Amino acid sequence: MTKSSFDVAIVGGGPAGTATALSLRQHAPALSVLVIEASGYDIIRVGETLPPPARAILEHLRLWNAFRDLRVREVFGTAAVWGSPKPFSNDFIFAPANTGWHVERPAFDFMLANAAADHGADLIKKTTVRAAQWSGREWDLQLSTGAPVTARFIVDATGGSAVLARRFGARIESVDRLIGITRFFESASDDPRVLVEAFEHGWWYTAGLPNDRRITGCITDADLARRMRLGQSEEWARTLAATSQIAVLMKDAEPCSEIVIRSTATQLLKPAVTERWLAVGDAAARFDPLSSQGVLKALRSGIFASYAISDWLARADAAGLRRYERYVNEEFKSYCEVRTKYYREEQRWSQSEFWARRHRPLFKTVAA
- In the chain, where the domains are located: 4-48+104-175+266-332, 178-263
Contact 205, 289 (CB under 8 A): yes
Q: Judge residue 108's burial from the number of C-beta atoms within 10 Å of its C-beta, 0-12 exposed, 13-18 middle, 19 or more buried.
A: buried
Does residue 71 sit in helix, strand or coil?
coil
Over residues 146-151, mean pLDDT: 93
The tens digit of pLDDT for each residue in 309-340 reads 999 999 999 999 999 999 999 999 999 999 99
Average pLDDT over residues 160-176: 96
Asked if the model's pLDDT at residue 56 lies above 60, the reply is yes
Buried b (16+ CB within 10 A) or exposed e, 318-334: eebbeebbebbbebbee
Q: Percent of the chain beyond pLDDT 70?
A: 96
Q: Is the Cα dihedral 63, 65, 68, 71 positive or negative?
A: negative
**What pLDDT score was predicted for residue 190?**
81
Give the percent of the chain with pLDDT over 90: 80
Phi, psi of 16 (to 5 degrees): -65, -45
Q: What average pLDDT does the segment 207-227 reach?
A: 94
Give the model's confidence band at 365: pLDDT under 50 very low, under 70 low, under 90 confident, else very high: very low
Return the closest-CA partner of residue 7 out of 43, 27, 126: 27
From 144-158, 182-196, 253-267, the region with the lowest mean pLDDT? 182-196
Q: Please tell me the predicted confidence (pLDDT) of residue 364.
A: 46
Q: Is the pLDDT of residue 345 over 50?
A: yes
pLDDT for residue 34 is more than 50:
yes
- What is the third-level CATH fold of 178-263? D-Amino Acid Oxidase; Chain A, domain 2 (3.30.9)
Distance CA 18, CA 13 (A): 5
Question: Cα separation of 332 and 293, whole Å?
Answer: 12
Strands 100-102 and 73-75: antiparallel
CA distance 74 to 102: 7
- The 10 Å Cβ neighbour count of residue 19 is 32
Beta bridge partners of 268: 173, 285
Answer whether residue 38 shows pLDDT above 60: yes
Query: Residue type at 63?
Result: L
Contacts of 302 (CB under 8 A, 6+ apart): 15, 16, 17, 18, 19, 20, 21, 22, 23, 157, 280, 281
Degrees, nearest 5: CA angle 224-333-260: 35
Determine how many CB atoms are found less than 10 A away from the CB of residue 165: 27
Summarize the confidence of residues 132-138 as an average pLDDT: 94
How confident is the prediction for the chain on average, in pLDDT? 92
Distance CA 319, CA 325 (A): 10
CA 117 – CA 121 distance, rounded (Å): 5
Q: What is the pLDDT of residue 96?
A: 56
- The H or E element containing residue 296 is helix 294-315
Tens of pLDDT along 73-128? 998 888 999 999 999 887 654 455 678 899 999 999 999 999 999 999 999 999 99
d(CA 229, CA 113): 37
Question: Domain 4-48+104-175+266-332 belongs to what topology?
Answer: FAD/NAD(P)-binding domain (3.50.50)
pLDDT in tens, 238-297: 999 999 999 999 988 999 999 999 999 999 999 999 999 999 999 999 999 988 888 999
CA-wise closest residue to 19 among 321, 277, 300: 300
**By C-alpha distance, which of 319, 305, 323, 334 is closest to 12?**
305
Predicted confidence band at 167 (pLDDT cuts at 50, 70, 90)? very high
